[in-house]
Each structure stands twice: as C-alpha cells, then as structure tokens.
C-alpha cells in the first residue's frame, strides 16, 4: 500500500512537472509566436502586416460627401408595340422613340466640379443628372468618354465641391484594406469594406485593362464609384463584377487610377484620349513556343507588322521578341500595349528585341492610332448630345433624299424628346448655316455650337422641302 502510494506520488509529481513545462511552452508560444525550425529561423524576417483598423468612420466622413449618384437619360428606338419585324414591315410602322433612364455612381475629383465615372453609365445619354449627398440636383456636361477604358469625365457648374484625390494605384498592395462607395440597387451612398485581392486582372471587356480585384461588395449601381485606400484617396473606379447572379460574391473589379489620370488629362485638354501606336500585333509566348522559334523565354512576340507603320519604318519584323521598352522589362502583351498607348504621338521609344538569339535595339517614332480619326468622326456625329444625327451632304445623298441642294448637313435622325426635336428640327432637314456662318462639315458645326454657352440661342438656316427657313435653336444646359 505504501509502495503503491509512493509510486502514485512520483507519478503525480512527474505529471505536474510535465504540465508546468508544457504550460510554460504554450505561454512562450503565445508570447513570441509559433516556434519554427532553426533552418527557417535563419530566413529573412518578413515585416508584419498592418493591423486591421478599429473603424473606417474617419475615412468615410472625409470622402463620402464627394460621391454622387449619376442618372442618365437615353433615347431608344422601337419599331412597334409588338416588337416584331414582321408586323413592322407588313404595316410599314414608323420607329417609335422611348426615353429610358439608368443610374450609377461617380465622384468629384476636383473642387471645380469635375466628376469621374464609367463610360457605360452615361453611354448614349442625351441628358445626365447629378445628385450630391444633400440630394441637390445638377445637370452635367459630358466632357468626354473613353470606351476603351470604360471611363467618362463629366462636369457640373459648381465650385468648392468636396472631392477625392486620385492616389497612386501602383502603390496599393494585395491584402490592403479598401472601401467601395456607391449607390448599389438604388440605395444611396452605401459603403462596403474589403481588401485588394489581386492586381493586373484582364477580363476581355475593354481594350485597355489592368483591373484591381477586391472582395469589397460591389453591386449594380456601384459602377463609377470610388475604391478608397486607408489614406482617403481613390485608387480605383469600381467597374464590374464576376457573378452567376446579379449580386456580389466578393469578386469585384476597379479601373486603377493611374490609368484614369491620363484619360482625365486628355479629355480635359483635347476632348478625346490620344494614344500612341506602333502598328504591330503582339501576343504572349510560352516556353515551348520560344524553344520552337529559337528564342529566349519571356517577352512578347510580334505576330504582324502593319505596312507603313512606325514599327515597320523602325525595322521591326514578325517573330521579333520584344523584351524591353525604354529600358523597362516587358512582362506581357497587355503590359506592352499599355506602354505603347501611354506614349505620346511624336515620342521616340527605345525597343529591345531578340531576333533569334541576337539581341537588337530599335527606335520607334510613335504616331497616333489611325482609329482615332474614325472615333472622332463618330463622336462628332452625335452633335454635342443635341438629340440628332448629322451627315455631310453630297450630290449622291441629295439624289437619294430627293433634296434640291447638295450643301450643308442632312439631319438623318431626331430623337424624340431631345433638344433637336424640342426646337423643331425634323429628319430630312438640311442645316445650311449657324448664325449666318455656312457649315459644310459635322466638325465645323460642332465647333460653332461649342463656342456658344449652354442655354444660349443660335439661329439655324435650314432647307426644308426646298424652302429655306430660319429656326431658333436653344442649346441645352
């Protein structure tokens, strides 16, 4: 019995000692972090990530007043109440025009009333309204749009408005906290939080893409709103989501502000975005393809060189492997495309390529994309959102329309409820002059009207059914 008690006592002491040692180890682990093997301990120490903020209140109070609701009105054509081409053709039904509205988000980027939003929020709009945090309503002017990045720049006639500065989107890191602010499902000024999930995403939705991915909830109506860092700066413009339904599943995308800065600057000064052009078709190259072509791995492969292009003049050829531009390594075809686009026409760009195993250097003098002229003409035909489509008159068109003049601009289409319709313009009218200045091109007409302030009245000389009449035209606000 005594022996048994002694053994039990020894066992108790041993257990207590083991417990004490174990407790000491666990406490040590809790104080110092998980114990790691000596080999790992010698590795480079990684700085701890910033702690999660206790509250976003201060940031939200700072930036929320600069976020606005963007309400756009557009006019669409419907052939008949049946929506059926057979009935339209059988009854020769004229097209009916309907006014539709949609809403999204935007935010002030300067104190003088400039607003950044998505192109798809205001696309084809004949009127754009802005509602600020106090529900005060403004009519916005579309300064310019850029479908290739899905961005649009608007302006209202106000001063000293609260605004959000555009931060450095390149500096944001995966894992950093961000806030998304907008008007999802028509719920005004909603704030959601999350982190940057990834950078440099390509979705194939726009020509130029470098999306920031976030798990901050973004839904319908958030488009055009800001993605905010913890310094109260916009580092993205919320644009789209991936979802099997209409709601957020934590995969949202924002256009980085560093891409937006060039778009904003160009739209302010030129009314359009001017991008550089090499005249090459490019693609990423796999290690297998590089081996087959006897090229180093990495870089971007030239698949085609346009005749007469800057690239051809500089000496670039098909199968060249571009590895650097202006001394910076080229990581992907999208990366190179952005570098070229951000170059100004007239710039001379240094390009490093491998032609086979031989490394060569070229100087390419950048020009403006030939698409720019076509895009500018299409933009001009919208005639300052006056609700009509204009085409330069020619003898052939005059015969087609049965006109008695081949001068001026033919009004091909008038949107119901638009400024042109409200001022008495009809399809088939031919605009001959603005304030006694004859017009012979859409760009000239646009320039003459742009020189007048909104709300003022101009005098149009119009040929209607062979008669020349004067119409007073009030420019929309």
Q: What's the rounded mean pLDDT across residues 141-159?
A: 93
**Pure H helices in 35-105:** 38-41, 57-63, 85-91
Q: Tell me, what's the pLDDT at 351?
A: 94
Look up 223 and say whether it is catalytic.
yes
Same domain, 94 and 190: yes
Active-site residue (options: 146, 150, 266, 320)? 150
**Residues 84 and 100 placed together within one structural domain of the fold:** yes
3-state secondary structure (DSSP) of residue 344: coil
Tokens read off for 432? 């001959």
Do 67 and 167 sit in the same domain of this protein? yes
Cα distance between residue 114 and residue 169, in whole Å? 20
27 vs 68, more confident = 68
Answer yes or no: are the C-beta atoms of 117 and 105 closer than 8 Å. yes
Domain shared by 109 and 256, yes or no: yes
> Any idea of the CA torsion for 379, 380, 386, 389, to the nearest 10 degrees?
-90
Domains in the chain: how many in total? 4
What distance in Å separates the CA atoms of residue 251 and residue 193, rounded to the nearest whole number? 13
Query: CA 78 to CA 279: how far, in whole Å?
Result: 40
Measured distance CA(90)–CA(86) in Å, rounded: 6
For the question of residue 286 being annotated catalytic, the response is: no
448 part of a folded domain: yes
Of 72, 197, 223, 239, which one is the catalytic site residue?
A: 223
> Which has the higher per-residue pLDDT, 38 or 471?
471
CATH number at residue 460: 2.30.42.10
Given 326, 347, 368, which residue is the final one in a domain? 368
Is residue 452 in a domain? yes
* Cβ–Cβ under 8 Å, residues 391 and 381: yes
Ranges assigned E (strand) in 183-291 = 190-201, 211-214, 226-228, 234-241, 252-256, 276-277, 280-284
Domain shared by 22 and 36, yes or no: yes
Domain match, 254 and 380 both: no
**Do 227 and 302 lie in a common domain?**
no
Asked whether residue 49 is assigned to any structural domain, the reply reads: no
Is residue 236 in some structural domain?
yes
Q: Could you tell me if residue 48 is inside a domain?
A: no
Task: Identify whether residues 354 and 437 lie together within a single domain.
Answer: no
Cβ pair 388, 411 in contact under 8 A: yes
Contact call for residues 410 and 391 (beta carbons, < 8 A): yes
Read off the pLDDT of residues 343-380 as tens digits, 9 standing for 90 and up.
888 889 999 999 988 999 999 999 887 666 545 544 55
237: in domain: yes
Lowest mean pLDDT among 189-193, 271-275, 277-281: 271-275
User: Which domain-ending residue is among 351, 368, 385?
Assistant: 368
In a domain, 66, yes or no: yes
Task: Tell me which of 272, 293, 324 is where a domain ends.
Answer: 272
Domain-embedded: residue 50: no
Structural domain span for residue 65: 56-272
- In tens, the pLDDT along 380-408 reads 545 456 788 888 887 767 776 778 788 88
* pLDDT per position as a tens digit, 164-182: 999 999 999 999 999 999 9
Helices 371-381 & 442-450 angle (0-180, nearest 10): 60
The alpha carbon dihedral of 203, 205, 208, 209 has a sign of negative
Quote the DSSP letter at residue 141: E
Q: Cα 60–65–69 angle (5° rounding)?
A: 110
More confident: 28 or 127:
127
Same domain, yes or no: 183 and 219: yes
Residue 99's pLDDT is what? 67
SS3 181: strand
Cα–Cα distance for residue pair 240/198, rounded to 1 Å: 15
Same domain, 379 and 427: yes
- What's the confidence (pLDDT) of residue 168? 95
Could you give the CA distance from residue 255 to residue 336 in angstroms, rounded to a whole number? 18
- 404 shares a domain with 349: no
Beta bridge partners of 411: 390
Q: How far is CA 315 from the centre of its chain?
A: 34
* 28 among known catalytic residues: no
DSSP 8-state code for residue 48: P
**pLDDT digits 0-9 by tens, 117-135:** 999 999 888 889 999 999 9
pTM greater than the 0.85 cutoff: no
Residues counted in the chain: 477
Radius of gyration in angstroms for the set of CA atoms belonging to the chain, rounded to a whole number: 31
Instruction: Tell me: do 177 and 232 sit in the same domain.
Output: yes
Among the listed residues 120, 248, 309, 429, the single catalytic one is: 120
């Amino acid at each position: 019995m005594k022996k048994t008690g002694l053994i039990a006592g020894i066992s108790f002491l041993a257990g207590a000692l083991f417990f004490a040692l174990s407790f000491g180890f666990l406490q040590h682990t809790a104080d110092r972090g998980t114990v790691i093997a000596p080999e790992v301990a010698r590795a480079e120490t990684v700085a701890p990530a910033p702690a999660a903020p206790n509250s976003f209140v201060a940031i939200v109070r700072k930036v929320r007043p600069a976020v606005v609701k963007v309400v756009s009105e557009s006019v669409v054509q419907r052939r008949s109440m049946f929506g059926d081409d057979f009935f339209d053709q059988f009854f020769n039904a004229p097209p009916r025009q309907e006014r539709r509205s949609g809403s999204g988000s935007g935010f002030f980027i300067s104190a003088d009333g400039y607003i950044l939003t998505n192109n798809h929020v205001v696309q084809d709009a004949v009127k754009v309204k802005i509602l600020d945090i106090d529900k005060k309503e403004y009519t916005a002017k579309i300064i310019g749009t850029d479908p290739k990045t899905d961005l649009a720049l608007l302006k209202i006639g106000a001063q000293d408005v609260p605004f959000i500065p555009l931060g450095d989107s390149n500096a944001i890191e995966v894992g950093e906290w961000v806030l998304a602010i907008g008007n999802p499902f028509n719920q005004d000024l909603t704030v959601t939080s999350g982190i940057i999930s990834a950078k440099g995403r390509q979705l194939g939705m726009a020509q130029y893409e470098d999306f920031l991915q976030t798990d901050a909830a973004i839904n319908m109506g958030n488009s055009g709103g800001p993605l905010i860092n913890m310094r109260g700066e916009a580092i993205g413009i919320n644009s789209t989501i991936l979802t099997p339904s209409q709601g957020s599943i934590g995969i949202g995308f924002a256009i980085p502000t560093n891409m937006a800065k060039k778009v904003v600057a160009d739209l302010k000064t030129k009314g359009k975005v001017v991008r550089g052009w090499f005249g090459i078709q490019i693609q990423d190259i796999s290690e297998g393809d590089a081996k087959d072509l006897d090229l180093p791995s990495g870089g971007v492969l030239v698949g085609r060189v346009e005749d007469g292009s800057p690239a051809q003049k500089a000496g670039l050829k098909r199968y060249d492997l571009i590895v650097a531009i202006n001394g910076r390594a080229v990581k992907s075809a999208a990366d190179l495309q952005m570098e070229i686009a951000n170059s100004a026409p007239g710039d001379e760009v240094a390009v490093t390529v491998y032609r086979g195993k031989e490394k060569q250097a070229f100087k390419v003098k950048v020009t403006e994309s030939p698409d720019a002229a076509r895009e500018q003409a299409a933009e001009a035909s919208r005639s300052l959102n006056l609700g009509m489509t204009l085409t330069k008159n020619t003898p052939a068109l005059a015969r087609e329309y049965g006109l008695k003049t081949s001068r001026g601009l033919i009004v091909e289409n008038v949107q119901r409820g638009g400024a042109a319709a409200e001022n008495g313009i009809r399809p088939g009218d031919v605009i001959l002059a603005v304030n006694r200045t004859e017009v012979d091109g859409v760009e000239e007409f646009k320039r003459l009207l742009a020189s007048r302030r909104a709300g003022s009245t101009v005098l149009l000389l119009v040929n209607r059914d062979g008669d020349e009449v004067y119409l007073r035209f009030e420019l929309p606000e």
